[in-house]
């Protein structure tokens, strides 16, 4: 029986015909890989395959359903009673503040506030507060449960168009305005109060509307508040409820304005979530039958952001991840229970958009060479998937170690794994990225490993690469001795 050393073929026996055949095999291997790494799967293609990934099918169908929703294909949404709250004509740059979002032309003076609230039925407050607290509690529990927040955030950021948001917000604010008017019936019936005067009350109580909620320049206000509703940060929650930038000098009126604000926040946020849930309930399968892709067990409330980040990566929601990074100051070094960082998870879930997102991000980003508890790095994991587009993306990361070893697997490098799995195209990518052909796994170099598995194509590729490297080194050494420079 021949030893491994005896089976090693000299480099010179690789003929031109063999090199051409090897080139053809590489071409066929490359053609078998997806060309556009950012192309989402077509719903008809997914449905044609019995083993289609249900999570991707669910996302495709939901996106299609949003675009074809009858509500958005019909005429613009009506306003309740044809009443529209005053809108700002222009949005300003920078982070929105409540003061910026106030339209001073519609704000009442303190004397007018005194007049308006002289007709206020204070018995309405108890009912508002009871309903508001119940709704806010429900919203908090819902957004903290499963993947509800992440799915809604993706819907809000990417599925629901700007004009659709504006129409829904105006519609629901009209409903809230009607309910608030019921507390001022005495003044309205006597004609001492005009509806336009009452509209200004909502502008004072909910100063985030319209700029903070209906502007593309400030897309995170709604999600920030929904996040606070499920957050253990009690001070942030209280600040959200008490954030009135135009208080009355009368403390009693201020308390009533706070009650109106809480009522408006609860009902408006509840209405938006209810609209989303109505769409979700008509998906391909019921919510109970949908399996979560998340590998993360239920976290404590203090780890909610980490859980949402892991979910966003696993679903491929770069928009939600960007929201968590920008608005919630997400720690990018987080890992799951198996010590897999965000790059590792994006790789095993084949989420090219997440890898692209981090690749375009300024440092710091998750550690590209960080090993999981099994010793594999993201590059090892990418080789295990057999997908060349993932390898290509990871090889573009600054500082990636293409020769990183797994000490739990006899020192296996990504090249060793590619040889074991027979991935010719991936071997080609790794060799072009300066993978070491002399590194050993369990005492076997890559060439010896390829020969042991009887893979002639990979064996030929490694020999050709070694021959090319040897030739380049010879030319470089000769050029250096002659004082010339040369580029390959």
Domain of 209? Answer: 110-282
Same domain? For 138 and 273 the reply is yes
What does the angle CA 119 – CA 122 – CA 127 come to, to the nearest 5 degrees?
Answer: 135
130 CB-side CA count, 13 A: 5
Structure tokens at 25: 């095999």
Identify whether the C-beta of residue 406 lies closer than 8 Å to the C-beta of residue 394. Answer: no
Greater pLDDT, 238 or 61: 238
Residues 277 and 423 in one domain: no
Domain final residue, candidates 234, 261, 282 = 282
Instruction: Indicate whether 470 belongs to any domain.
Output: yes
Q: What is the pLDDT of residue 373?
A: 97
Residue range 170-196: mean pLDDT, rounded: 91
Which of 255, 282, 309 marks a domain boundary? 282
Q: What is the pLDDT of residue 27?
A: 62
Residue 309: inside a domain, yes or no?
A: no
pLDDT at 142: 92
Which of 282, 300, 322 is the last residue in one of the domains?
282
Q: How many domains does the chain have?
A: 2
The answer to the question of residue 307 being in a domain is no
Tell me what percent of the residues of the chain surpass a pLDDT of 90.
Answer: 48
* Cis check: omega of the bond before 438, within 30 degrees of 0: no
Burial class (CB in 10 A: 0-12, 13-18, 19+), 180: buried
DSSP string, 46-112: HHH-TT--HHHHHHHHHHHHHHT-HHHHSSPPPPGGG------S-PPSSS--HHHH--GGGPPPHHH
Candidate from 187-196, 208-217, 414-423 with smallest mean pLDDT: 208-217
In a domain, 26, yes or no: no
- Predicted confidence at residue 15, as pLDDT, reads 52
Calculate ∠ Cα 97-100-103, nearest 5°.
Answer: 135
Note whether 142 and 271 are same-domain residues. Answer: yes
Q: What is the reported pLDDT for 401?
A: 98
Q: What is the CATH number of the domain that holds 408?
A: 1.25.40.20
Q: Is 6 helix (H, G, I), strand (E, B) or coil?
A: coil
What is the percent of the chain with per-residue pLDDT over 70, rounded to a whole number? Answer: 71
* Res 5: pLDDT: 40
What pLDDT score does 21 carry? Answer: 66
Answer whether residue 444 is part of any domain: yes
Tell me which of 274-288, 319-333, 448-462 is least confident: 274-288
**Whole-number Å distance between alpha carbons of 19 and 460:** 8
Strands (DSSP E) found in 312-442: none
Task: Give the tens place of pLDDT for each residue, 280-303.
Answer: 875 534 343 333 444 433 345 447
* Separation between Cα atoms, residue 50 and residue 41, nearest integer Å: 14
Q: Is the pLDDT of residue 159 over 80?
A: yes
- Computed over every residue of the chain, the mean pLDDT equals 78
In which residue are the tokens 């072009």 written?
432
Residue 127 — very low, low, confident or very high, per pLDDT cuts 50/70/90?
very high
∠ CA 64-70-76, rounded to 5°: 120
- Lowest-confidence segment of 9-23, 112-126, 171-185 by average pLDDT: 9-23
Task: In whole angstroms, give the CA distance from residue 146 to residue 162.
Answer: 27
**Predicted local distance difference test score (pLDDT) of residue 10:** 40
- What are the residues whose beta carbons fall under 8 Å from the beta carbon of 1, sequence distance 6 or more? none
Establish if 247 belongs to a structural domain.
Answer: yes
- For 255-275, what is the mean pLDDT? 93
Q: Is residue 194 part of a domain?
A: yes
Residue 393 clears pLDDT 50, i.e. is over it = yes
Give domain status of residue 368, yes or no: no
* pLDDT tens, position by position, 87-113: 332 333 333 444 444 444 455 667 788
Tell me the β-bridge partners of 341: 335
């Amino acid at each position: 029986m021949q030893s491994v050393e005896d089976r090693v073929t000299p480099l010179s026996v690789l003929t031109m015909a063999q090199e051409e055949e090897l080139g053809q095999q590489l071409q066929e291997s490359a053609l078998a890989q997806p060309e556009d790494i950012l192309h989402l799967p077509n719903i008809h293609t997914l449905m044609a395959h019995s083993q289609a990934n249900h999570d991707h099918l669910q996302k495709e169908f939901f996106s299609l359903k949003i675009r074809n929703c009858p509500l958005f294909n019909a005429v613009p949404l009506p306003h309740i009673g044809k009443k529209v709250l005053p809108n700002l004509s222009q949005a300003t740059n920078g982070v929105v503040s409540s003061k910026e979002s106030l339209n001073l032309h519609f704000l009442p003076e303190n004397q007018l506030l005194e007049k308006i609230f002289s007709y206020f039925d204070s018995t309405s407050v108890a009912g508002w507060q009871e309903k508001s607290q119940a709704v806010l509690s429900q919203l908090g529990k819902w957004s903290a449960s499963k993947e509800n927040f992440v799915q809604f955030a993706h819907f809000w950021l990417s599925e629901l168009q700007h004009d659709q948001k504006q129409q829904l917000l105006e519609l629901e604010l009209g409903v809230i305005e009607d309910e608030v008017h019921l507390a001022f019936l005495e003044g309205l019936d006597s004609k001492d109060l005009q509806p336009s005067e009452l509209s200004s009350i909502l502008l004072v109580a909910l100063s985030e509307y319209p700029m903070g909620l209906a502007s593309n320049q400030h897309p995170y206000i709604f999600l920030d508040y929904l996040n606070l509703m499920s957050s253990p940060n009690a001070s942030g929650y209280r600040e959200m409820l008490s954030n009135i930038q135009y208080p009355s000098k009368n403390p009693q009126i201020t308390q009533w304005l706070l009650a109106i604000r809480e009522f408006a926040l609860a009902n408006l946020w509840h209405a938006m979530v209810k609209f989303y849930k109505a769409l979700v309930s008509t998906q391909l399968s019921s919510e109970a039958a949908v399996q979560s892709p998340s590998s993360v067990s239920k976290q404590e409330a203090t780890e909610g952001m980490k859980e949402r980040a892991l979910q966003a990566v696993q679903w491929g929601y770069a928009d939600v991840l960007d929201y968590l990074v920008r608005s919630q100051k997400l720690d990018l070094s987080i890992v799951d229970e198996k010590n897999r960082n965000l790059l590792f998870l994006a790789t095993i879930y084949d989420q090219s958009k997440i890898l692209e997102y981090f690749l375009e991000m300024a440092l710091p980003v998750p550690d590209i060479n960080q090993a999981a508890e099994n010793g594999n790095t993201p590059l090892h994991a990418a080789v295990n998937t057999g997908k060349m587009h993932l390898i290509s993306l990871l090889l573009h990361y600054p500082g990636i170690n293409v020769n990183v070893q797994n000490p739990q697997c006899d020192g296996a490098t990504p090249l060793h794994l590619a040889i074991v799995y027979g991935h010719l195209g991936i071997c080609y990518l790794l060799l072009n990225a300066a993978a070491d052909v002399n590194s050993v796994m369990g005492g076997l170099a890559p060439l010896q490993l390829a020969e042991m598995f009887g893979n002639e194509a990979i064996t030929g590729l490694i020999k050709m690469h070694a021959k090319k490297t040897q030739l380049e080194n010879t030319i470089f050494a000769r050029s250096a001795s002659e004082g010339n420079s040369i580029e390959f």
